Structure 1
Amino acid sequence: MILAAASTSRYLAAVPTTELHCHFASTIRPGRLVGWARERGVALRTDDPAELARYTGLQDFLELFNAAHAVFRSADDIALVAYEGVRACVATANLRYREYYVNPDNFADLGLGWPTVLSGMVAGLTRAREEFGVGFGIVPAVDRSRDLATAHAMLDTVLASPHPAVVGLGQDDLAADGYESATAWEPVFRRAREAGLRTSAHVGEISTSTAASVVEAVEVLGLDRVDHGYHVLDDPAVVEAARASGVHFNCTPTSAHLLSGWALDTTHPVARMIEAGLPVNLSTDDEVFFDTSLSAEFEHLTTDFGFGPDVVEAVCLNGVEASFTDEGTKETLRREFRVALDGARALLDA
């Protein structure tokens, strides 16, 4: 079933969503980013969010991403950004649950230690949960541009301030040589798993990635899910193995388009991964820095990739299954999503 244009926006506005590949700093509202940067003397290359989203590649993007952290000054700043980001996404994409990658080392460089960052995020996200009913999890991320000792120290800091909202360990940035180098952090990921944290890693995203690198990351790091993973498509045997394993893929259509040049049509790797039967969920990656939104990512499913409600609903439910929340919360989300999806489907016949 292909959705008619007149039905698409009404239907998509009603489907419940999760977001599992969301870098916290990128949830800052565009006006606040520009305003704080001007007020606090942080140089941005433009005041136009649309122009901010023009890159020549991932390394070019990462320079902006890392610089944007510099607008934060306190736990109150972090709490405000956390709350405003949820409020905006609830209004446009019916957000029900979100997990945030956050790099403690980037904030530590600003004099904001992990307990400060954590308290700010929890305060803002708890306020949003109370007002909008949106659950959350926090996933500290290894900065791959730094060394292994720094990653171990970061994990030490995280484990020294345990909190039920901290549900996993992830990765961001690139290694100093410009490669993903996902498995270089195996000792840190092993410690995280031993401490009860779930694991995810950015792999299979850039041009130097291979299908084998995705498999290697899953096996060596013991991953519960993969962020991106697009180059899994390079080898049909790996696609089959990934499908059989059930590993989930947190995919971000717009960022893949902007950073890797894949067209937003049926040839896009996310569309092909879905066609191949891989369990895909959708996220923005870095909402403000890519001038996108969660609602826009779901629109790609229908308008650009040509999928109907069966796929949209499967992607929504995949987000619940791939989340790092506890099983009781998952079961609640499953029930709520099925009811909401039935209601959304009814709108197609209204």
Structure 2
Amino acid sequence: MISYVDYLRLLPKTELHCHFASTMSSELFIELAAKHGVELPTTDPDELFDFAHLVDFLVAFRFAHDVLRDPDDFERVAYDGVASAVADGNLRYREYYVNPQYFAERGLSYTDVIDPIIAGLARAEEDFGVGFRIVVAINRRADAASAVDLVREMIAYPRPEVVGLGQDDLTPENTEDPGRFIEAYALAREHGFLLTAHVGETDDATPDAVRIAIEELGCDRLDHGYRIVDDPAIVALARERGIGFAATPLSTTICSGWTIDDGHRIRRMIDAGLAVNVSTDDAMFFRTDIGREYTEGLRLMGVTAEEAKQIALNGIDAAFCDGAQKARLRAEFRAAFLALDAALEPERQSV
């Protein structure tokens, strides 16, 4: 028999909200900084990743991209990150947010960034069986015209692994303002890309940002979206449209200072019947992994074994891969559920 913590760790998982630069280990981050002469404020991970709030974290997040410069850097981060996630939480499929605009500031082209990432992830898929797709993310600190230019690069340099457009970071005014990028989203949709956006993430955000992302941007799924529970009409809209929400429990304790318990906004989203799935967001910075998001994040919200399995399946439903890959993942997950359910003591299904 196994404990409920082990059950949650061993559940097969997708991860749909994962920023590529954050899949580095802290050790590799420090190593690459030394390799490229990037001076860090400290080489102590406990101090290096100590953030007071979201804006504080985003400064470090932008800074971290400076250590990725050579093709080997990108490929190594891609491969090692998959190996770690398999060991930490039985990852079976992952989608990565990649911000080419950050790297363009450092002289790297779109393909300089995308191609070695794909190479590393493809090698990891061959070795560990973990599927992947890439979502190109608009840096909201840049203007709307540059977002359109970014989509044009996606169109000019098509890669089958690059399937979606998103938006992250904050605007120069430190707001979300998803509607600022309507033109870029319309162009991406016209060329067959799927759509997502970071919205409704913190107490400073608004539930209306969630509505804008659904109704005006036409998003297929959303990242975070926690403020949705403040507006029942938007909850109903999202539920009716079958919008998936890529939630990241541990990040909310740092970016918003929320306590993970049975009153958490993610728990309320689950109770409202929204299609919640779970990811790490920025594993290195938040000192988390996909296993911990389940064993600590979901467990502290009082999520049962049946709910945890549904959350894992929700990740397949909301994924941007094709129907055949989703079918394979569902079969693989359900087979693993049977084995894990048989090993879990009935009285431990929510402990």
| TM-score normalised per structure 2 | 0.95
Give distance in 2, aligned partners of 1:307 and 1:318: 14
Q: Distance in 2 between matches of 1:97 and 1:302?
A: 19
Q: Could you tell me which of 13, 21, 29 is aligned with 1:33? A: 29
Match of 1:167, SS?
strand
Q: Secondary structure at the match of 1:196?
A: coil
C-alpha distance in 1, partners of 2:345/2:60? Answer: 45
Secondary structure of 1:341's aligned partner: helix
Instruction: Map 1:195-234; keep pairs closer than 5 Å.
Output: 195-234=191-230
Q: Deviations over 1:254-310 (max 9, x none)?
A: 111111011011121111111211110000000001111111101135531112111
Q: Which runs of 5+ in 1 are unaligned?
A: none
Q: Is the 8 A contact 2:267 2:301 kept in 1?
A: yes
1:330 equivalent to 2:315? Answer: no
Gaps of 5+ in 2: 347-351
Decide whether the 8 Å contact of 2:75 with 2:116 is kept in 1. yes
Aligned-partner Cα distance in 1 for 2:8–2:179: 37
In 1, Cα distance between equivalents of 2:206 and 2:30: 37
* Aligned residue runs from structure 1 range 34-73, under 5 A: 34-73=30-69
2:273 pairs with one of 267, 270, 277? 277
Q: Does structure 1 conserve the Cα–Cα contact (< 8 Å) formed by 2:24 and 2:81?
A: yes
Q: Is the 8 A contact 1:301 1:312 kept in 2?
A: no
**Which digits, 9 at most, give the CA deviation of each residue in 1:78-108, with x for residues without a partner?**
0000000000001111111000000001111
Q: What SS does structure 1 have at the residue aligned with 2:325? A: helix
Which AA in structure 2 matches 1:289? F
**Paired residue for 1:142?**
138
Which residue matches 1:305? 301
Q: Which deviates the most, 210-219 or 135-144?
A: 210-219
Equivalenced residue count is 346
Instruction: Please state whether the residue corresponding to 1:208 is helix, strand or coil.
Output: coil
Please say if 1:174 is aligned against 2:142: no
Give the deviation of 1:65 after TM superposition.
Answer: 0.3
- Let me know the Cα RMSD of the aligned residues: 1.5
Residue 249 of structure 1 aligns with which residue?
245
Structure 1 residues 83 and 16, CA, compared in 2 at 3 Å: closer, same or farther?
same
Displacement of 1:136 after TM fit? 0.3
Aligned pairs for 1:90-169 (under 5 A) are 90-169=86-165
Query: Which residue identity does 2:238 align to in structure 1?
Result: A
Q: Is the 8 A contact 2:9 2:294 kept in 1?
A: no
Change (3 A) 1:274 1:67: same
Equivalent residues of 2:249, 2:298 under 8 A apart: no
Cross-structure match for 1:264: 260
CA deviation string 1:200-227 (max 9, x = no partner): 0000012232222211211100000010
Q: Distance in 1 between matches of 2:209 and 2:75?
A: 37
- For the 8 Å contact 2:9–2:292, the answer to whether it is kept is no
Query: Post-superposition, which runs of at least 4 consecutive aligned residues in structure 1 deviate over 6 A?
Result: none
* 1:130-156 residue CA offsets vs partner (Å, 9 max, x unmatched): 000000000111111011111111111
Q: CA deviation at 1:53?
A: 3.2
Q: Kindly indicate whether the alpha-carbon contact (under 8 Å) linking 1:283 and 1:297 is maintained by their aligned counterparts in 2.
A: yes
| Offset of residue 164 of structure 1 | 0.7
SS at match of 1:262: coil
Q: Within 1, Cα distance between the matches of 2:61 and 2:125?
A: 26
Supply the distance in 2 between the matched residues of 1:44 and 1:202 (Cα, whole angstroms).
28
How far apart are the structure 1 equivalents of 2:40 and 2:256?
A: 23
Looking at structure 1, the residues matched to 60 and 87 of structure 2 have their Cα atoms a distance apart, in angstroms, of: 27
Report what 2:184 is aligned to: 188
C-alpha separation in 1, matches of 2:47 and 2:290 = 19
Check the 8 A contact 2:250/2:297 in 1, yes or no.
Answer: no
Of residues 270-279 and 126-135 in structure 1, the stretch that sits farther from structure 2 once superposed is: 270-279
Partners of 1:161 and 1:302 lie apart in 2 by: 39
Q: Calculate percent identity across the aligned residue pairs.
A: 46
Deviates more, 1:43-52 or 1:224-233: 43-52
Amino acid paired to 1:196: G
Q: Which moved more, 1:240-249 or 1:172-181?
A: 240-249
Contact persistence 1:49–1:291 (CA under 8 A): no
Secondary structure of the residue aligned to 1:221 is coil
Shift of 1:72: 1.1
Helix, strand or coil for the counterpart of 2:258? Answer: coil
Give the corresponding residue for 1:320: 316
Report the CA distance between 1:8 and its aligned residue.
1.8
Cα distance change, pair 204–182 in 1 and its aligned pair in 2 (3 A) = same
The amino acid that maps onto 1:169 is L
